[in-house]
Structures are given as C-alpha cells and as structure tokens.
Amino acid sequence: MVIYFDTNVFRDLAEKRVPKAEQKINSLIELKDREITIAPSFEVLHELLSAPDIDNTTRIKNAQFYLSMVDWTYALKPSNQILSDDIFSLVNVGGPSTPYNAIDSERSGFIQDIKNGQNILPDAEWVKVVAKSRQQNEHFVTALFTDFVRKLPKDGKTKLRNSPDKTWNEWWRPGALAEIIANTLVVAVVGDTIKKYSPLVLPTVRTAVGYILHTWYKQIITNAKVNPTAHYDFRNAVLAGGVGRILTGDKKLRNAIRHIHMCNIKVWILDEFLSNM
C-alpha cells in the first residue's frame, strides 16, 4: 500500500513534537518493512529544507530522517505536473496518468548531499530561493483565495450562509461551480477541446478544486483567514489525489479533504492511522 506523508508528519516525528514520538517512529518503520510504502516528493523536501523556524542543522536532520523513511522508486512528480499529465491522459485515453517518476537516489547529487549533511546550494543562494518561493506563494494564496472571495456576489455569500450544506452540494452538480473551475484547469492545460468526460472524475482535479472550494466555504461561513502557507496544503491535496492516500499532521487539511463532495481519498492524522493499522 503506497501512502503519501505530508511535511508536518515528518517534522512532528523527527523533532519529537508529538507524544511517544520514538514509539510511533518504530511503529511506522515496522509497517514500512511489512505493509506500506511511503511515496516521497521534492515538494516535501523543499518544505523541510526551507522551514524558517528552525536552524539549518535541524533542517538537514529532518531531511535525512525523511530520506530514511521513503522509497524513491515511488517518487511523486511535482503536483502541477501530476495535474497536467492527468488532464492530458484524460483527454487522450480517458483516465489518469501515473503520479510516479522513479528516482535513483544513489545517483542523485541532491539526495546524496543531504545524506552527507550538506545543502545542495550555498546558504546565501538557498535564502534567495526560499525568499522568491515564499513571495510567489503569497501571490498564489492572495489571487486564488483572498481576492476571489472578495469578488463573490453578496447574494451568493448570503445564500451560502443561510443554507451551507445545500449550497455546498449545489456547487458540485454537473455544470455548476466545481465543474466550471475544473474545466478552467483543462483549458489552461490543453486548450479548448471536446471533452468526453468531466475532469472531476480525476482524483487530482477533484481534490484541487475541492480544496479551493472548501477554503472559500470556510472563509464565508466562519470568516476564517487563509493561512499564508495554504499553497502547501493545496499541493498536498493534489498529491493525495494522485496517490489515493495521505497521512497528515494537520487536522484542517484532513477535514478539508474529507469535506470534498464524493471524494474517495483516504486521509488520516498520525494517531488515527496507527490505531487502524
């Protein structure tokens, strides 16, 4: 069974941020040896190596712990590539592509540098990369979540507040808001083409659209502010769609995925997962 673990899980364990961390690590290692394969992604590695709240030594140790747990023969493509590959595949063959692209970790200079306790880039260059990435992500969050919600018609917000469940289900009807967003993704990838299938049949598209709609829903219903790191959760949702299973350290992300209409992605937080295995 292949499972995708998000960054929070690894930080919780590597930094012992959860009770009985050592016991949980040992349980996961036992499961890894017998029953599960942990699918790695460079997006998680990037997040581990760019965490602003810890020193560089801890970042490298976290990344080394990550390398010890994952199987690079199931390396995930970047989330945007999985989305575009799935859409191309849907148009051409009627179903999703593979989310995996095997990496030879023994020949990867990037991975070997981390194993040896080194950064792939000099510290000064890494700081620039992280700063630029953070700026791009802030623009992404503002454009996709904050600005759009501000532009929603007042009567639409009122309808959602008065009938949240009914309105949420209406968003997922054929031709409604979820499908409009999904078709926008298709046009962005392959242009205006004849579609035999709704793109929402793709788990990656469904979780991408679902995470967006859930975020809007929470902003309107509970006046929730969008976390500036929401771009990570958006990508995690896409990767979860590709794999079909995700273990997360974030209850909000778990609840967001479970809220998506007719979504068959398995999602757990750590204690739930260990108690059910």
CB 35 within 8 A of CB 277: yes
The confidence band for 237, taking pLDDT boundaries of 50, 70 and 90, is very high
pLDDT at 84 over 70: yes
> Could you tell me how many residues make up the chain?
277
120-152: pLDDT as tens digits: 667 787 778 888 888 888 888 888 888 877 777
- Is residue 186 within 8 Å of 201, Cβ to Cβ? no
**Given its phi and psi angles, is residue 45 left (phi above 0), alpha (psi -120 to 50 degrees) or beta?**
alpha
In the chain, the number of structural domains is 1
pLDDT in tens, 169-220: 999 999 999 998 999 888 888 887 666 788 999 999 999 999 999 999 999 9
Taking the C-alpha atoms of residue 269 and residue 4, their distance in angstroms, rounded to an integer, is 12
Which residues form the domain of 156?
Answer: 2-276
Q: Which tokens belong to 118? A: 């080194």
Query: Would you say 211 and 260 are in contact if contact means Cβ atoms under 8 Å apart?
Result: yes
Complete DSSP assignment for 60-113 = HHHHHHHHHH--GGGPBPPHHHHHHHHHHHHHHHSS----B----TTT-HHHHH
Position 154 scores a pLDDT of 80
- How far apart CA 208 and CA 231 sit, in angstroms, is 11
Name the residue type at position 169.
Answer: N
Q: Alpha-carbon distance 230 to 244, whole Å? A: 20
Asked if residue 54 has pLDDT above 90, the reply is: no
Residue 20 has pLDDT above 80, yes or no: yes
Q: What are phi and psi of 244, to 5 degrees?
A: 100, -10
pLDDT category of residue 168 using cuts at 50, 70 and 90: very high
